[in-house]
Amino acid sequence: MKVVKFGGSSLATGKQLEKVFNIVTSDPSRRIIVVSAPGKRNAEDEKVTDLLIASGLHAMNGESPQPFIDQVIGRYRDIAEDLALPPTIIETIKDDLLSRVNGSQSDPEQYIDTLKASGEDNHAKLVACYFQMKGVHAKYMNPGDAGLIVTNEHGNAQVLPSAYNKLVELRDCEEIIIFPGFFGYSEEGDIFTFSRSGSDVTGSILAHAVKAELYENYTDVDAVFSVNPTFVEHPKEIKELTYREMRELSYAGFTVLHDEALIPAIQAGIPVQIKNTNNPAAKGTKIVNSRDNTNGPVVGIASGGGFCSIYVSKYLLNREIGFGRRLYSILEQYGISYEHTPSGIDDVTVIIRENQLDAEEENHIIEQIVSELQADEVNIQHSLALIMVVGEGMRHNIGTMARAANALAQAEVNIEMINQGSSEVSMMFAVKEVDEKRAVQALYNEFFQPASVLTV
Amino acid sequence: MKVVKFGGSSLATGKQLEKVFNIVTSDPSRRIIVVSAPGKRNAEDEKVTDLLIASGLHAMNGESPQPFIDQVIGRYRDIAEDLALPPTIIETIKDDLLSRVNGSQSDPEQYIDTLKASGEDNHAKLVACYFQMKGVHAKYMNPGDAGLIVTNEHGNAQVLPSAYNKLVELRDCEEIIIFPGFFGYSEEGDIFTFSRSGSDVTGSILAHAVKAELYENYTDVDAVFSVNPTFVEHPKEIKELTYREMRELSYAGFTVLHDEALIPAIQAGIPVQIKNTNNPAAKGTKIVNSRDNTNGPVVGIASGGGFCSIYVSKYLLNREIGFGRRLYSILEQYGISYEHTPSGIDDVTVIIRENQLDAEEENHIIEQIVSELQADEVNIQHSLALIMVVGEGMRHNIGTMARAANALAQAEVNIEMINQGSSEVSMMFAVKEVDEKRAVQALYNEFFQPASVLTV
């Protein structure tokens, strides 16, 4: 059986829902359908989720949420009218939405999460209604009834391992299941949303739970690109990549799939297929456990800005057992997680996401490192970008680093930092943010332009 | 004033002592002379220090130390006879040596340290006797009397900051001071030796204490080589390098100067001149605070084997605040200091010196990391060599990494790891030990062969 997830743009209009219906019903093994809230119909449009958040914030501010609620209901109504659905479905959605917006605001995060989650929840009801109207044996499934129990973290909920014991029963459901993405319920029965792209998480969890043969993730691109298409025109599509490659690419800014959404599917060894709702004939990108390394050492290049480095030096640092641990404890006191820690002999640099620090905190941290660790020098460099060059087996391909470093030198990009050798599937470069685009272009040209591809 | 240190081979024979005498007396600013124990006279010879250790170990084993003691005394007698010194000096040395070898063995480390230190201590007495006989106003200075107070760590003593308050008085001494290297005294008055090449440490401490204009370090090579001469024939000599370059080079196996011996001199900003006792006209190598970057980005290449890597991977590792700290705490429990910690997204690799681990400990550590940190995978790779490519300002020289990586690729060396960007003056590569020599040769050819040198 297959778990199939559709993104917001795939479910934004009645016309889109018809495509979804055709896709689902063209393969009888598509048994569990995870739906997002209606997304944008065009570049200027607003996502239903954003309208729901706005309504909640206005209500908490003592202002009327009604204009936003009206817009949300309007979106569902448009779709329902396009598809000639019975008007009762809009009444159902309206009642649900009003009970949420008029609910308790005593816990603001709970209030917002409950509202946000309605985007998916109500759309799942609408989609189920549509499928039923078309004569398909389908039903809406509430995540709480299905047993999707999560941790009490608003906007960052994690599935509890015990949830899988109940979710596995979805296998035995006779109907096609229409399951809302993005949220689960705490053990106390409250709604908690997942992080960004949370519908991907839901699909991934359900695929794990039912041991799906495939987790299909329908979005609005034909495939995952090998590089950010705003940096390189018409970049190559990736036909197949491994979980590890995907994860490394996601880390530094690939946006097709949510950074950590795949983890539950990965844990169960379930392949993931990225497909395009608007062009289901396109092969898409398959994410698998292992792949043949037949098209060069590099499968993709990702990058992202917003990093900074904290440099700490002290004579004889490498003789001091515990220095690193004490340094990281200081960062931990400020709730700072770090990404990488390249080191010299008498120095260590800690790479962190810049948004974790404000100027005041920065000064406190520097002072504390100097005073507690007797560091000789501490300084912070801002506005760095990390570039990940990713490819399975790359590590044992002699000369890959030389090609990458050459390409950057030719493009006159200074390499601020290299971290290579822990992961077998990536090389990481830090460059100044202003050099990011040029660096990525140079690396792409080196590894993906026809002259450089070893085997096609 | 200058502090001048002579190594063991510079003091191994009467003929060598004549050279030392001529060097010292040719410059009236040479006021403090640090001496080593007599070293090897030829490749088959034994160092006095090694003979002293052997005598101590035999004595503690209940065997006779006499054959070794006789050899030691023989070495001093040969020198004294070469120079026609008064026989009383040999009696003095003999008495001193017997009182040490017959001393208390209740603390074995203390017993050995006391014996070891006699090599330098007695040779300083002999050298002072020789200088006096030649009519020079010179005197032996006992480190305890001079105030060289150190921590209670056998074989790894560290100078106490308070020692400098007393040692500064050496400035006012009218005689040329002949000072034994390699050891100091604890506050309780016991002898404690420094680590390997401890006479360099003594010279460095005294140069700091008296604010010397120069610390001259006489050894048996004309200069510091830019690369290990057992890997490359007739390598270039380094005319000038900075403290930081020296320290980075020393770390990975440069043996001309002891890894950390220069620290006290560096702290006081005192330049260090490496000279050859056997060829005092040679310019040597000067170690300074800063230098003109006029002969290419790379000043030297050093390497050393005996490293291993501990690889730890865990899904979502980069979201876990405190993971690194907890990992390093485990290593700390085993007294393991680590060198470098390159990291991927879901993994971190810890590079350590291999001799800190035995097979049993290795298994314990792996088990503890798996159980305490719920790591998904832990494995250890043995027999790695680290290669440091060192040069001041190299970091901002675009293309240096490309040249290095190219050279390694051409030599078909696989780069196991790169750590670059924390130190501004080095790039570090890890390669398999079997590839070390080939890798160093390739890097030397790239950066030091005439075609590649940008400016001479």
Q: Is B346 annotated as a binding residue?
A: no
State the distance between the two ends of chain A, measured CA to CA, in whole angstroms: 32
Size of the A and B interface in Cβ pairs below 8 Å = 180
Burial of B209 (0-12, 13-18, 19+ CB in 10 A): buried
Superfamily in which the B2-220 domain is placed by CATH: Acetylglutamate kinase-like (3.40.1160.10)
Main-chain phi, psi angles of B111, to 5 degrees: -60, -50
Q: Kindly report the nearest CA distance between residue A130 and chain B, in angstroms.
A: 38
Same fold, B2-220 and B300-452: no
A321/B335 CB distance under 8 A: yes
CA-to-CA separations, B424 to A413, B391, B406, in angstroms, rounded: 16, 8, 21
d(CA A289, CA B126): 74
CA-to-CA separations, A179 to A31, A136, A140, A182, A200, in angstroms, rounded: 11, 15, 6, 10, 12
Residue with tokens 């290990």: B228
Nearest CB to A347; choose among B348, B417, B422? B422
Is residue A453 predicted with pLDDT exceeding 60?
no
Question: Identity (one letter) of the amino acid at A382?
Answer: H
What element of type H or E holds A84?
Answer: none
Q: Kindly report the nearest CA distance between residue A310 and chain B, in angstroms.
A: 10
CA closest to A263 among chain B residues: B315
A343/B401 CB distance under 8 A: no
d(CA B287, CA B207): 14
Topology of domain A8-214+247-262 in CATH is Carbamate kinase (3.40.1160)
d(CA B425, CA B434): 26
d(CA A236, CA A227): 8
Residue, of A392 and A259, whose pLDDT is higher = A392
d(CA A361, CA B165): 39
pLDDT tens digits along A47-60: 999 999 999 999 99
A454 — pLDDT class (breaks 50, 70, 90) = very low
Residues of A in contact with B251 (CB under 8 A): 318, 345
Residues of B in contact with A336 (CB under 8 A): 321
Nearest CB to A405; choose among B349, B402, B428? B402
Residue A63: DSSP 8-state: S
Chain A interface, best mutation among B309, B326, B345, by max A CB count within 10 A: B345
Residues in chain B predicted with pLDDT less than 50, given as ranges, are 452-456
Question: Identity (one letter) of the amino acid at B433?
Answer: E
Residue A235: DSSP 8-state: P
Residues of B in contact with A409 (CB under 8 A): 398-399, 401-402
Q: Is B220 annotated as a binding residue?
A: yes
Nearest CB to B401; choose among A337, A415, A423? A415
pLDDT tens digits along A233-281: 989 999 998 888 888 887 766 555 665 788 899 889 999 999 999 999 9
Contact between B224 and B238 (Cβ < 8 Å): yes
B438: closest CA among B413, B401, B403? Answer: B413
Nearest CB to B345; choose among A247, A344, A412? A247
Q: Kindly report the nearest CA distance between residue B363 and chain A, in angstroms.
A: 20
A401/B409 CB distance under 8 A: yes
B342/A422 CB distance under 8 A: yes
Question: CB within 8 A of B358, min separation 6: which ones?
Answer: none
Nearest CB to A322; choose among B266, B332, B345? B332
Q: Which architecture, in CATH terms, is B300-452?
A: 2-Layer Sandwich (3.30)
d(CA B16, CA B278): 8
Contact between B235 and B196 (Cβ < 8 Å): no
A421/B341 CB distance under 8 A: no
User: What local confidence, expressed as pLDDT, does residue A452 receive?
Assistant: 43
Q: Give me the mean pLDDT over the A292-311 stretch.
A: 86
Residue A262's SS3 state is coil
Question: Identity (one letter) of the amino acid at B165?
Answer: N
CA-to-CA separations, B91 to B74, B84, B96, in angstroms, rounded: 12, 15, 9
pLDDT tens digits along B261-273: 888 998 899 999 9
User: What local confidence, expressed as pLDDT, does residue B395 receive?
Assistant: 64
d(CA A122, CA A48): 11
State the distance between the two ends of chain B, measured CA to CA, in whole angstroms: 33
ipTM for this model: 0.72
Chain A interface, best mutation among B249, B343, B390, B424, by max A CB count within 10 A: B343
B24: closest CA among B148, B170, B128, B142? Answer: B128
* Domain layout of chain A by residue ranges: 8-214+247-262, 300-448
DSSP secondary structure of B336-401: --EEEB-B-SSEEEEEEEGGG--HHHHHHHHHHHHHHH--SEEEEEEEEEEEEEE-TTGGGSTTHH
Residue A38: DSSP 8-state: P
Nearest CB to A422; choose among B322, B329, B343? B343
Superfamily in which the A300-448 domain is placed by CATH: VC0802-like (3.30.2130.10)
A277: closest CA among A350, A218, A346? Answer: A218
A349/B415 CB distance under 8 A: no
CA B237 to chain centre: 19
Above pLDDT 90, what percent of chain A? 71
Q: Kindly report the nearest CA distance between residue A423 and chain B, in angstroms.
A: 5
A348/B398 CB distance under 8 A: no
A220: closest CA among A34, A39, A21, A31? Answer: A39
CB atoms closer than 10 angstroms to residue B379: 11
pLDDT tens digits along A77-117: 999 999 999 999 999 999 999 999 999 999 999 999 999 99
Residue A10: DSSP 8-state: G
Contact between B369 and B375 (Cβ < 8 Å): yes
Residues of A in contact with B328 (CB under 8 A): 322, 324-325, 328
CA closest to B311 among chain A residues: A422
